[in-house]
Structure 1
């Protein structure tokens, strides 16, 4: 059996595990999550990444190892070069991460494959999640940011719609966690950190906020998603956990616009990117 590791790299963490390609699931006993500060310098970041990867791969034969890595953009995924010029991982700008990791892990560069983090979420849901068997799928991750991805039956692509025009700003301003934080403050003068805290607030305020969100989210689908003619919409990210609170109005709005789109909520959430990175690497191997 192919030894394969899926890795999800974010601005504050590295999460990884061995993946069973036949069962299409994470081998939970190998799961590792480590804090990594994306604003540290290059050497610190690499040493933390390599330390975490060694914890997961120490019992595997290196020659038979395949590594899939989900990374945020901008990034040259084919060549493994970071193109992030501002914010996180700024010290890795134009560094060939594939080359550096191969050298430090004593593996060939051909054993390492990178995929966009939004696309990895979709690849994971197709490989071992809630949309196995579908061919044309649109995916959104709703959290601190807005991720958008489309699966065409072969590969998932990052659709990068987060900064597309919407209402009087961009899509992400209305669909990410900060919208809940800002709107709640506007209505009450108080602070929350996101949807989880909102669920502890009075029902009237919850309903008002989730109704407004449902209107924005359905507006986004009408404006951007329906053009892809997907068979199904898959939703991940922390806001997806609150979907039951805005589902009814969201679906009603879609129906009014003659959109009958089945919706699936991620069952594996953060693990989707790990599975997706691993399954993408397997596709590249084949």
Structure 2
């Protein structure tokens, strides 16, 4: 069993992962205050990790959002609205010296990278040679994967693989697509994104339009990159993906306007893979239409990043 941590914007999860079985066998979760003092944030992470029955000396995988120095384990959060008290802090040293069952080593990776790697191992990206993952929560996380490996450069890939560094209309993408941007545009200080989604389902036009506009912008920005990358799947995770009934139509429309037209059928885990490029539906007759552009929600939303972090720990 491989011990892992997933550090999110408002929580931390510690888990033991059975990597061959692609399953999480033990999990603990604790809240984090993203605006708290550095000592309080680190103590919350250590306390959650210490509650995991991991063997002493194990190598841990840790999925954490950027900006972060993943090789050295140094937090570089600045201008992202969370964990800014940790700027310059050696998180690796804090974990190696502060967990009850001390790790033998800690491997850090980007949380969106961990998410897509986990989905490729056994979730919605399984069977796709080239896939892109997007996480929609506090901001926009992204990952580009080819033949099981994360790519941070190449055709269609933004600098460092980070869509949040791209611009739309001369402004950062997250000025249009993020929790902050959606709340500002909606204009009700008492509402959160979940409330806006509920109001959109109830028929409120303003709520529906705010969400649709943000997701259409995201799709239009992604479309040309997916086409250039040769992606056959876009996997969407994060808290906003739980409102898939609202996310999917606007996102798919934006993707089409950006030149990456999704298939009408949304294919999920296990439905691809007979063809030499991994895109022919299993059991399809010769000459059947090929499903080459699937847009799907995460197949294992709560487990994908944990499985991806375990994969990183196992490979070093």
Q: Same fold (TM over 0.5)?
A: yes
1:10 maps to 8
For residue 26 of structure 1, the aligned residue among 17, 24, 27 is 24
For residue 140 of structure 2, the aligned residue among 129, 142, 146 is 146
For residue 32 of structure 2, the aligned residue among 36, 39, 55 is 36
Pairing 1:265–2:297 present = yes
- How has the CA–CA distance of structure 1 residues 245 and 97 changed in structure 2, closer, same or farther, with 3 Å as cutoff? closer
Measure the CA separation in 2 of the matches of 1:38 and 1:193: 17
Pairing 1:55–2:69 present = no
| Count of matched residue pairs | 273
2:173 maps to 171
* Deviation string, structure 1 residues 70-96 (Cα, Å, up to 9, x no partner): 112222211222233565444443333
Flag structure 1 segments of 5+ consecutive residues without an equivalent. Answer: none
User: Residues 161 and 171 of structure 1 are in contact (CA less than 8 Å); yes or no, is this contact kept in structure 2?
Assistant: yes
2:182 maps to 180
Structure 2 length-normalised TM: 0.75
Measure the CA separation in 1 of the matches of 2:9 and 2:143: 20
User: Residues 130 and 231 of structure 2 are in contact (CA less than 8 Å); yes or no, is this contact kept in structure 1?
Assistant: yes
For residue 114 of structure 2, the aligned residue among 115, 120, 133 is 120
| Alignment map for 1:1-286 (pairs within 5 Å) | 3-27=1-25, 30-57=26-53, 60-63=54-57, 65-85=58-78, 88-105=82-99, 107=102, 109=104, 111-156=105-150, 157=152, 159-185=161-187, 192-201=191-200, 202-203=202-203, 205=205, 206-248=207-249, 250-252=251-253, 254-255=255-256, 257=259, 259-260=261-262, 261-284=293-316
- How has the CA–CA distance of structure 1 residues 132 and 39 changed in structure 2, closer, same or farther, with 3 Å as cutoff? same
User: Residues 62 and 109 of structure 2 are in contact (CA less than 8 Å); yes or no, is this contact kept in structure 1?
Assistant: yes
What is the root-mean-square deviation of aligned Cα atoms in Å? 2.8
Shift of 1:39: 4.3
Measure the CA separation in 2 of the matches of 1:167 and 1:238: 26
User: Residues 81 and 95 of structure 1 are in contact (CA less than 8 Å); yes or no, is this contact kept in structure 2?
Assistant: yes
In proportion to residue count, which structure has more helix?
1
Flag structure 2 segments of 5+ consecutive residues without an equivalent. Answer: 153-159, 263-292
